[in-house]
Amino acid sequence: MPVIATTALTKRYPRVTALDELTVEVGSGVTGLVGANGAGKSTLLKILLGLIAPTAGSAIVLGHDVVTGGEAVRALVGYMPEHDCLPPDVSATEFVVHLGQMSGLPADAARERAADVLRHVGLDEARYRPMGGYSTGMKQRVKLAQALAHDPQLVLLDEPTNGLDPAGRDEMLAVVRRIGTEFGIPVLITSHLLGELESVCDHIVVLDGGRLLRSESKAALTGETGVLAVEVRDLSGRDRLVAALARAGARARPDGPLVLVEIAGDETYDLVRDTIAELGLGLVRVEQHRHRLEEVFNV
Partner 1 sequence: MSDQLPRGGVIHDIGYRHYTGPRLGRMAITQALMVSSLRHAYGIGRTGKAKVMPVLLFAVMVVPVVIIVGIENLMQFDEPQLLPVDYIFLLQPVIALYLASQAPQLFSRDLRYRSIVLYLARPPRRTDYALAKLTALVLALMVLIGVPLFILYVGALLAKYDFVDMSKQFAAGLVVALLVSILLAAIGGLIAAATPRRGFAVAAIIAVLIVSFTAVITTTAILDPEGDMSSTAARYASLGSPFSLARTVGTFLLRDHRENDWMPTTEQGLVFVGVYLLVVGLCVWGVNARYAKVARG
Minimum CB distance to partner 1, residue 181 (Å):
10
Q: Establish if 85 lies at the interface with partner 1 (CB under 8 A).
A: yes
| Those residues with Cβ within 8 angstroms of residue 249's Cβ, 6 or more apart along the chain or in another chain | none
Q: Establish if 16 lies at the interface with partner 1 (CB under 8 A).
A: no
**Interacting positions 53-82 with partner 1 (CB under 8 A):** 71, 74-75, 77, 79, 81
Q: What is the 3-state secondary structure of 136-193?
A: HHHHHHHHHHHHHCCCCCEEEEECCCCCCCHHHHHHHHHHHHHHHCCCCCCEEEEECC
Cβ closest to partner 1, residue 96 vs residue 212? 96
Whose CA is closest to 110, among 124, 98, 95?
A: 98
Sign of the alpha-carbon torsion through 220, 159, 104, 53: negative
Stretch that binds partner 1, among 23-31, 59-67, 113-121, 159-167 (CB under 8 A): 113-121
Could you give the CA distance from residue 67 to residue 121 in angstroms, rounded to a whole number?
32
Q: Establish if 15 lies at the interface with partner 1 (CB under 8 A).
A: no
Write phi, then psi, for 58 (nearest 5 degrees). -140, 160
Q: x-or-dash pattern for partner 1, window 141-180, by CB under 8 A?
A: -----x---xx--------------------------x--
Bridge pairing between strands 56-61 and 252-255: unpaired
CB-CB neighbours of 272 under 10 Å: 23
Cβ closest to partner 1, residue 82 vs residue 216? 82
Q: Establish if 115 lies at the interface with partner 1 (CB under 8 A).
A: no
Minimum CB distance to partner 1, residue 16 (Å):
14
**Interacting positions 180-209 with partner 1 (CB under 8 A):** 182-184
**H helix count then E strand count, the chain:** 11, 14
Size of interface with partner 1, in residues (CB under 8 A)? 39
Could you give the CA distance from residue 127 to residue 130 in angstroms, rounded to a whole number?
8
Q: Establish if 282 lies at the interface with partner 1 (CB under 8 A).
A: no
Stretch that binds partner 1, among 22-30, 90-98, 211-219, 248-256 (CB under 8 A): 90-98
Q: Establish if 99 lies at the interface with partner 1 (CB under 8 A).
A: yes
Minimum CB distance to partner 1, residue 86 (Å):
6
Would you call 133 helix, strand, or coil by DSSP? helix
For binding to partner 1 (CB under 8 A), which residues are involved? 49, 51-52, 71, 74-75, 77, 79, 81, 83-90, 94, 98-99, 101-107, 109, 113, 116, 120, 130, 146, 150-151, 178, 182-184
